[in-house]
Chain A
């Protein structure tokens, strides 16, 4: 790969890069220690996939997991495997077929960053010791190679691992039938039944690559393709957000002094913290969108139950909002939940933080939707039914001790799901009406929150 890169660069270009670097200038206008713009995309319909764009370099990572027998030497640990695909689509220097040396180097770097540094808790992936563990596989595809694959691939793999959700598995209490060899069957819960679980990550290792020029005196962060071709050596530091180093990788290249190396390591630690901040913000946006989507998905699944609820108890759900003039105005913003659910991916930093008690904002919106109902024709949109159900769930959740501000949004949805399921079996108790009234009672600041959802939907 590197050999072909040399031919991409003419001598005059090489000289220009070196000359500009002496004045701390780079050909794309960056300063020596600047990253290119980093963008994250998370596809709407699957967990555990991320596309990272670092300038023009684009890398996609997909995480998949399978529940299988563990390796015999590690009966209580899952496994984590990495596969890097450098296809000719990304660069003419890449060849089809078996992974070349460049791909293997990238794979090993990912392994060292995320597995060997024990960033991912592999023991948490064990379901049943010696029998069933999660084998997690990360496929990294380079879509466009414009320099600094190491950082982009590391970031994509990390983003995908952080966005990944695995279905919850539970083991039936063993020995039910007597002293048989079977210790209990493993049940996988569908994502609609139980909230899928994220992987537990101990720290966030981020790769920071430097291009070394001129005997190691001139250095650039995040070298582009041309800078990499002109560079005399590379140094990749894998650092965590807490100023710790997970791995150093300097495979040959020009020799540098120890003091310069340590200076670069410290720069890398600071940069890693910056990049991680961007990644976290993007993931928060993605999580918000995901939670909003789940509300709708529940609606699709529980449509029958919802219809029952609507026929039987529709009045219960709707009436409380009627007498409130403020809610009718808020209803104007009611259509945004659907649009939000369709929005694919969170761009870097666009998504706001999911507030503690994040359910409140959607509650408000859904409440407004229910209040708008009396004006609508008898045939109600499906989402409206969900909204009603959500209000019911919200009321229940608020009653219980679990309605603390720190409560995870998923818990609320469990309550909703429970209510939908309950409604399918029988009509809600008349006592619920009082709770509902409490649930949809307007609070100050709710309208502001409704407005906050709008930019995402449009």
Chain B
């Protein structure tokens, strides 16, 4: 299968170093403290945030910082293969742990001792880059809930196909089993928070792909920041502050 045509176009018509169209919506759910919908191409993820509030289980509360909980679920129709759902799979537990890990570094947990922040993530459509989309959606929902953060966290994936680094793989490209990297970045601090890589590759290839993913993170962060600002402006306008 040809993943990059001689004209330099990928199967979905993008250039090798091009992100898919990003869409961010805020306040999409009403009963939670903050919610967001993040869309990258076809990949579509809902996130809802409850909290900060008193920890559900007293014994779990931490005396010096907030407890962050993360729930991940994907709809039965989200992937091509309709699968029986038998509770939480290993992969969904892993994904929830990854999002939690990224958020623990991002939210200023020291400011909220004994509190709990619960993040619920629902994948509606999985077309590659699910981990990154989950982290981005969770970040937007946390921002929507007005929880203090250290820096914005933005995530992006990249891969290596046909001896060429490709940004933001879709499902068809990711299913080849080649190298795939997912990076979460604090763009203002320029720190890599989360780094997941799979499949065998040389160190130089890995470095090239990770560098590309970092550029993708910065671009995604810019888009997310822009969407947030717009949302805040419209909120302010609605309340008559401007």
Contacts and interface: CB of A to CB of B under 8 A. Distances in A.
Interface of A: 3, 101, 104-105, 107-108, 111-112, 116-118, 203, 216, 235, 240, 243-258, 261-262, 265-266, 269
Contacts of B203: 243-245, 262, 265-266, 269
Contacts, number: 104
Interface of B: 62, 90-91, 93-94, 97-98, 100-105, 177, 181, 185-186, 189-203, 206-207, 210-211, 214
Contacts of B62: 3
A117 B197 CA distance: 11
Given A107-B90, A252-B102, A255-B186, A261 B195 contact: yes
A252 B199 contact: no
A101 B194 CA distance: 18
Contact of A245 (B94, B105, B189, B201): B201
A246 B199 contact: yes
B94 A250 contact: no
Contact of B97 (A101, A112, A246, A269): A101
B108 to A, nearest CB: 14
Given A107-B90, A252-B103, 12 more contacts: A104-B97, A111-B90, A116-B198, A118-B177, A244-B202, A245-B197, A252-B100, A252-B101, A252-B105, A252-B193, A258-B210, A261-B195
A368 to B, nearest CB: 49
Nearest to A255: B191
A253 B214 CA distance: 18
Contacts of A256: 191-192
B199 A265 contact: no
29 contacts: A104-B90, A104-B93, A104-B94, A105-B94, A108-B91, A108-B94, A112-B198, A116-B198, A117-B199, A216-B191, A243-B202, A245-B201, A247-B196, A247-B197, A247-B198, A248-B181, A248-B196, A248-B197, A249-B195, A250-B192, A251-B196, A252-B100, A255-B186, A255-B191, A255-B192, A257-B191, A258-B207, A261-B192, A269-B203
Contacts of A257: 190-192
Contact of A251 (B101, B185, B202): B101
B105 A255 contact: yes
A200 to B, nearest CB: 16
Contacts of A243: 202-203
A34 B192 CA distance: 25
Contacts of B214: 258
A154 B194 CA distance: 21
- In order of increasing CB-CB distance, the 6 nearest A-B pairs are A252-B101, A255-B191, A248-B197, A250-B195, A251-B101, A255-B193
A245 B206 contact: yes
Contacts of B193: 250, 252-253, 255
Contact of A249 (B196, B201, B211): B196
Nearest to A246: B200
B81 to A, nearest CB: 9
A255 B189 contact: yes
Contacts of A251: 97-98, 101, 194, 196
B196 A116 contact: no
A230 to B, nearest CB: 15
B27 to A, nearest CB: 27
Contact of A244 (B97, B177, B198, B201): B201
A186 B105 CA distance: 55
A252 B200 contact: no
Contacts of B202: 243-245
A250 B189 contact: no
Contact of B211 (A111, A118, A252, A258): A258
Given A105-B94, A255-B105, A265-B206, A250 B200 contact: no
A245 B191 CA distance: 21
Contacts of A265: 203, 206
A116 B105 contact: no
Nearest to B64: A6
A247 B196 CA distance: 7
A246 to B, nearest CB: 5
Contacts of A253: 101, 105, 193
A170 B196 CA distance: 41
Contacts of B207: 258, 262
Nearest to B207: A262
A245 B98 CA distance: 20
Contacts of B100: 252
Contacts of B197: 245, 247-248
Contacts of A246: 198-200
A111 B91 CA distance: 11
Contacts of A261: 192, 195, 210
A245 B198 CA distance: 8
Contacts of B102: 252
Contacts of B201: 244-245
Contacts of A104: 90, 93-94, 97
A245 B200 contact: yes
A244 B200 contact: yes
